């Protein structure tokens, strides 16, 4: 199990990173929005803690989409005028404040789903209007290994602490933007705000697949079981990502 945690997510991150470098910020953001880190976290939780525990965690992860959206928006607003340490600190602070508020609120499933859907539906319109018109610079040699190591660390930490944290808090922490932070910072440093902002806007607009994935797990995992539940959730995520392409066209500055 530990070997899977250390290999599966980093390999997925590497594939998404290389594709994003090839096709630009909009594609990089859209691919980063897929549950390539959060999905395996809940899978390992299901295998270690059981389907019912994982379903409750998935419901909390739906609420956590709000915190992820807050990070992306705040980082984008700050990076337009400030260096990456300021933008990153502000983004993490936004994620933390949102997570604490959601933990106190403990939204039921219907409210959690509504909050999660509001993020990709409305939040991209609040981003600064920036368009990337150039070609990405040479990637930093540490970007890919840093993203892979950071993702592996998040998966290992959250799954190891899941039982102690409980399904609610472990679910809220599952979308913590560890890989997103790495790609935002390296993009910001290498290519400036005109690259980082469209990337984060595309990520936010592309979260429909993420929401669909965790909606299916929250509702169906106890009845379907782990194998069938994650299979159906993956199909729903793919459908959601296809739908999100249409939403992304509403924000031409991001493509």
Would you list the domain boundaries of the chain? Answer: 2-133+146-249
Mean of the per-residue pLDDT values of the chain: 85
Is pLDDT of 227 > 90? Answer: yes
Residue with tokens 């989409």: 65
In this prediction, what percent of the chain has a pLDDT beyond 70?
80
Judge if pTM exceeds 0.95.
no
Helices (H), the chain: 2-23, 25-32, 38-49, 51-79, 84-105, 109-122, 143-173, 178-191, 193-205, 208-224, 226-248
* 228 or 141, higher pLDDT: 228
pLDDT digit string (tens) for 117-166?
999 999 999 999 866 555 555 566 776 777 677 777 777 888 888 889 99
Among 13-17, 93-97, 182-186, 228-232, the minimum mean pLDDT is found in 13-17
User: 82: which residues sit within 8 A by CB, 6+ positions away?
Assistant: none
* Burial class of 130 by CB neighbour count within 10 A (0 to 12, 13 to 18, 19+): buried
């Amino acid at each position: 199990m530990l070997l899977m945690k250390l290999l599966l997510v980093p390999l997925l991150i590497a594939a998404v990173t290389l594709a994003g470098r090839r096709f630009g910020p909009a594609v990089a953001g859209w691919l980063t929005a897929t549950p390539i880190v959060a999905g395996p976290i809940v899978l390992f939780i299901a295998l270690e803690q059981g389907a019912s525990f994982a379903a409750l965690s998935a419901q909390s992860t739906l609420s956590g989409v709000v915190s992820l959206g807050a990070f992306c928006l705040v980082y984008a607003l700050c990076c337009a005028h400030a260096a990456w340490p300021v933008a990153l600190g502000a983004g993490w602070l936004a994620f933390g404040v949102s997570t604490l508020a959601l933990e106190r609120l403990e939204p039921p499933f219907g409210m959690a789903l509504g909050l999660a859907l509001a993020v990709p539906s409305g939040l991209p319109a609040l981003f600064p209007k920036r368009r990337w018109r150039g070609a990405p610079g040479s990637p930093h040699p540490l970007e890919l290994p840093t993203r892979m190591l950071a993702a592996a660390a998040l998966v290992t930490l959250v799954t190891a602490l899941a039982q102690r944290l409980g399904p609610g808090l472990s679910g809220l922490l599952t979308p913590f933007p560890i890989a997103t932070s790495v790609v935002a910072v390296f993009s910001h440093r290498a290519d400036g705000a005109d690259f980082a902002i469209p990337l984060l806007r595309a990520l936010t607009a592309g979260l429909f697949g993420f929401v669909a994935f965790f909606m299916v797990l929250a509702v169906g995992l106890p009845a379907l079981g782990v194998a069938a539940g994650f299979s159906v959730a993956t199909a729903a995520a793919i459908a959601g990502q296809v739908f999100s392409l249409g939403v992304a066209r509403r924000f031409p500055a991001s493509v």
